[in-house]
Chain A
Amino acid sequence: MIFAAADFQLNWVDWLVICVYLAAIAMIGVISFKYIKGLRDFFLGGRRFKKIFVMFHAFGAGTAGQDPIQVAGGGYNRGFAGIWLQLLWLVCTPFYWLIAPVWRRMRYVTTGDFFRQRYGKSQEVAFAVYGLIFYSVLNALNLLAIKKIVIAVAGGPTPWANWIVVASAIMFLVYGLLGGLIAAVINDLIQGIMIILLSFIVIPAGLSRIGGFAGLHAKVGADLFDLFAAQEFTVAWAIFMSIIALIGIVAHPHMMGTCGSAKNEREARWGLCYGNFLKRLCTVGWVLTGVIAAALYASRPLAQRELAFPSLVRDLLPHGLVGLFIACIIAAAQSSLSAAMVASSGLFINNAYRPYIKKGASERHYLTASRVISGLVVLGALTIALKSESIIRLFKFSMKIPPLFGIAWWFGVLWRKANSKGMWASFFACAAAMLATWPWKEPFQILWKGSWGVTQFFYRIGFVREAGDNLYRWKDEWHICAFLAAGILTMFIVSLLTKGKSEKELDDFYTLIHTPVGQEDKLKEAGIPVVMH
């Protein structure tokens, strides 16, 4: 290849490792294809996975290629405080122990099923459409991580970066289409082990280069060793992001697949909770890697903070391991993307296409349709990835969408009075508040600093100016506050004032989530429909 030697600092050993590794992963997809007999296998792996597989599936589906890149970038830029880019999920993790059985007990194929049963058909379709958009954004993050690695390995921007992203997207698509969730779960097990290894592999080499931990302290500023930064990853930011993470996680469509693939609720909660703790542990390694990069590149800053991890790998690891790192990040992106593709296509087919667009077709038809939808999701992701530059910015954006449905999920599970009208009112209020406050950075500046006499007058007053500046500095936090408050309050008030589903329908729903897995006979006796157990 023309670019192999000239543009990229890889040698033949790296290329060999990349090819062998990716070929092995592709084989898993091909082999898994034989086991896909129907939608249940494709979307939920036949509900046959035990805790180790669920754990690594949760780890793999939750650990995308961009995660090490963005956390190390945050560490490089803001020190240990950068860990909050992923540790914002830490507070959520114990709650997985509580909600995993709820997901499993629902016995649904997708979260869209939940919205239909609890609220209505319009919410079901809306969630299916949201799933396609959400996963396009999430998959774009994965593709963007690959772009960053290519730029780092090439030693700077290269026209090859976009082409490699396109090629990766095609490869992921083929892989996901073949193997469905079975391939994704097996792949996650392998990727999980490799990511754990790679999360720490660069640390000894980096520390030895800079003179150990003492050298690290000597080479970077003391504020890089604070748990919270003075800007960007502040205490308030970490708290507010943790709140939207907890509210929003239930609206991540793949969570139903992750828990639903477990054999029973015990396997689901162990797998989900500790698979994610495994990821949190790796996050510590990623941020330390970023701080090491800050020390190592102190005198020659990197052009982008997200190049920190791949640049360290390129400069510190021997050939072969560099190739392995690249292959692992690509494969991690691949496994996340595959899981996301399966989740989003499953969602759209089961909750929009089959019930409302093409009723009564064969299983084979729906399987083909789900593969077409998967292709559209990857195409959307590719478009976003090619137009985006910053992983961290896109990540922050992706964190703010799920609460639109997450609020309704929580209310729906915990409060009988939550109803369809409340859900829609909450959705629109939350979306309106989000849009109204999202771009407030610029309007605020214009208003604050503009030529209007009143604002100019107040701007000149010291403490007012200070307060305004703080308001501006905490723009993310206020923004989150505004849309969450709008969504939660509207849901509560409108549901309280309007009538929802009949008592019988509500009883059926709550009996379902109160009945442990394995006691489906009781549900049948009570005449409660079980979507898929």
Chain B
Amino acid sequence: MAEEKKKSSWEIPPPGPGTISGFFLAWVFVGGIIGLTIILMLIGKGPISLRVVAYDVSVEGKTPAEVDLEKLALATSQTNAMLLALQGTSEDLTEELSRKLELKYFASKGPSAILARYPIDKVQGASLAVTHFGKIGRFGVMNVDLRKETGDAEARRLKQAIPLAGKEFGNTPHAIFVLASGEPPEAPAGYIEAPADNKEGSNWHVFIPEAIADNLKECYVPTDNKTIKDFSDRLPVVTRFVFRKKDFQ
């Protein structure tokens, strides 16, 4: 008696001519398209350049619902923003914004806070933040608010911040963003003020080490509120910096 062959419950349609070779050829095309993308990514790649964008945002008296998160998120991600300095915030609001904006590293003190995409190694109040970039080594950024200070106190605090950063991180800040009212603060020793585009009318000053001044590619400081208004009606961005660094670790 012929044994009846048990029927498999799996049904693979039989391959027609060229099925297997065509399938593999298609994978070659997949590799080709990924390869082309990678080539385009690599063409013209020179020394590493880095752009740091710092936003200083006042959220005083606001709830997360009142802050235009979508636009803020777009601004922080599109511009590769490393720092978001919040003024007039609370602990809950900072946490909420950190989560919603996916700027998971934050540090706060009182009504001030700094949110960052990369780990904040150390925070002195909310006025000093140093961010760490794994790919290119350490890159120090300081964000200092001197608006309420005048004269000697202002200069002293700025000067103190630099050795503090050096002591804590073995690295001097590569960019110091200073928000100051009135007269521009004096540049710390070894630093020069970056020549910002449209600097006139802005309360922000950017100081960079003299030794790497040539590496600054762009420094953009909005000078009027119209730019900000155009950007968003509800997003109170008061300033924006772009700083680029090349081939220094």
Interface residues of A (CB under 8 A from B): 76-78, 80, 83, 87, 90-91, 93-94, 96-98, 101-102, 105, 212-227, 230-232, 265-266, 269, 273, 277, 280-281, 283-284, 287-288, 294, 298-301, 303-305, 413-417, 445, 449, 469, 472-473, 510, 513-514, 516
B26 & A94 in contact (Cβ 8 Å cutoff):
yes
A414 & B74 in contact (Cβ 8 Å cutoff):
no
- Chain B contacts of A413 at CB under 8 A? 11, 13
Closest Cβ–Cβ distance, residue B69 to chain A (whole Å)? 13
Taking A213-B40, A303-B231 as given, write out 13 further A-B residue pairs in contact, using a Cβ cutoff of 8 Å, ordered by the A residue number: A90-B30, A93-B26, A217-B46, A217-B49, A219-B217, A231-B77, A266-B16, A280-B29, A294-B78, A300-B227, A413-B13, A445-B99, A514-B14
Nearest opposing residue in chain B for A216, CB measure: B44
A98 & B218 in contact (Cβ 8 Å cutoff):
no
Docked complex Cα distance between A227 and B102 (Å): 20
Contact stretch, chosen from B31-39, B146-154, B175-183, B201-209: B31-39
- Chain A contacts of B34 at CB under 8 A? 90, 227
A225 & B33 in contact (Cβ 8 Å cutoff):
no
B19 & A221 in contact (Cβ 8 Å cutoff):
no
B220 at the interface (CB under 8 A from A): yes
B13 & A299 in contact (Cβ 8 Å cutoff):
no
Docked complex Cα distance between A514 and B13 (Å): 6
- Given A94-B23, A288-B40, verify A221-B99 contact (CB < 8 Å): no
Which 7 pairs of residues, A with B, have the shortest CB-CB distance?
A213-B44, A94-B26, A221-B80, A214-B44, A213-B43, A416-B9, A225-B41
Nearest opposing residue in chain B for A473, CB measure: B102
B12 at the interface (CB under 8 A from A): yes
A301 & B95 in contact (Cβ 8 Å cutoff):
no
Docked complex Cα distance between A220 and B34 (Å): 21
26 CB < 8 A contacts A-B: A80-B37, A83-B37, A94-B29, A213-B44, A217-B44, A218-B49, A219-B218, A220-B80, A224-B80, A225-B41, A225-B42, A227-B34, A227-B38, A273-B22, A284-B36, A284-B40, A299-B197, A299-B220, A301-B74, A301-B79, A305-B74, A415-B11, A417-B9, A449-B95, A473-B104, A513-B13
- Chain B contacts of A226 at CB under 8 A? 41
Closest Cβ–Cβ distance, residue A180 to chain B (whole Å)? 30
Residue from the list A415, A513, A516 in contact with B9, Cβ < 8 A: A415
Closest Cβ–Cβ distance, residue B192 to chain A (whole Å)? 21
Residue from the list B16, B78, B218, B231 in contact with A265, Cβ < 8 A: B16
B75 at the interface (CB under 8 A from A): yes
- Chain B contacts of A469 at CB under 8 A? 99, 104
- Chain B contacts of A513 at CB under 8 A? 13
Closest Cβ–Cβ distance, residue A466 to chain B (whole Å)? 9
A-B pairs under 8 A by CB, number: 148
User: DSSP class of A's interface residues: helix, strand, loop or mixed?
Assistant: helix
Closest Cβ–Cβ distance, residue A78 to chain B (whole Å)? 7
A298 & B242 in contact (Cβ 8 Å cutoff):
yes
Docked complex Cα distance between A514 and B40 (Å): 43
- Given A80-B41, A101-B13, A304-B74, verify A284-B33 contact (CB < 8 Å): yes
Nearest opposing residue in chain A for B40, CB measure: A288
- Given A212-B44, A304-B74, verify A105-B13 contact (CB < 8 Å): yes
Nearest opposing residue in chain B for A78, CB measure: B77
B48 at the interface (CB under 8 A from A): yes
- Given A93-B26, A445-B99, verify A416-B19 contact (CB < 8 Å): no
A interface footprint on B32-75 (CB within 8 Å = 1, 0 otherwise): 01101110111111101111000000000000000000010011
B244 at the interface (CB under 8 A from A): yes
B50 & A221 in contact (Cβ 8 Å cutoff):
yes
- Given A281-B33, A469-B104, verify A222-B78 contact (CB < 8 Å): no
B30 & A93 in contact (Cβ 8 Å cutoff):
yes
- Chain A contacts of B13 at CB under 8 A? 101-102, 105, 413, 513-514
- Chain B contacts of A213 at CB under 8 A? 40, 43-45
Closest Cβ–Cβ distance, residue A298 to chain B (whole Å)? 7
Most buried by A among B44, B78, B135: B78
B37 & A284 in contact (Cβ 8 Å cutoff):
yes
B246 at the interface (CB under 8 A from A): yes
- Given A214-B44, A281-B33, verify A97-B9 contact (CB < 8 Å): no
Nearest opposing residue in chain B for A105, CB measure: B13
Docked complex Cα distance between A269 and B99 (Å): 46
- Chain A contacts of B19 at CB under 8 A? 97-98, 101
Most buried by A among B23, B34, B36, B37: B37
- Chain A contacts of B44 at CB under 8 A? 212-217
Nearest opposing residue in chain A for B79, CB measure: A301
Closest Cβ–Cβ distance, residue A456 to chain B (whole Å)? 12
- Given A102-B13, A414-B11, A514-B13, verify A221-B38 contact (CB < 8 Å): no
Docked complex Cα distance between A212 and B40 (Å): 12
Docked complex Cα distance between A283 and B40 (Å): 13
- Chain A contacts of B99 at CB under 8 A? 445, 449, 469, 472
- Given A98-B19, A299-B220, verify A218-B46 contact (CB < 8 Å): yes
Docked complex Cα distance between A277 and B26 (Å): 9
- Chain B contacts of A415 at CB under 8 A? 9-11
B10 & A98 in contact (Cβ 8 Å cutoff):
no
- Chain B contacts of A283 at CB under 8 A? 33
- Chain A contacts of B220 at CB under 8 A? 299
B231 & A269 in contact (Cβ 8 Å cutoff):
no
B11 & A93 in contact (Cβ 8 Å cutoff):
no
Nearest opposing residue in chain B for A496, CB measure: B9
B136 at the interface (CB under 8 A from A): yes
Closest Cβ–Cβ distance, residue A312 to chain B (whole Å)? 15
- Chain A contacts of B40 at CB under 8 A? 80, 213, 284, 288
- Given A225-B41, A281-B33, A416-B9, verify A97-B23 contact (CB < 8 Å): yes
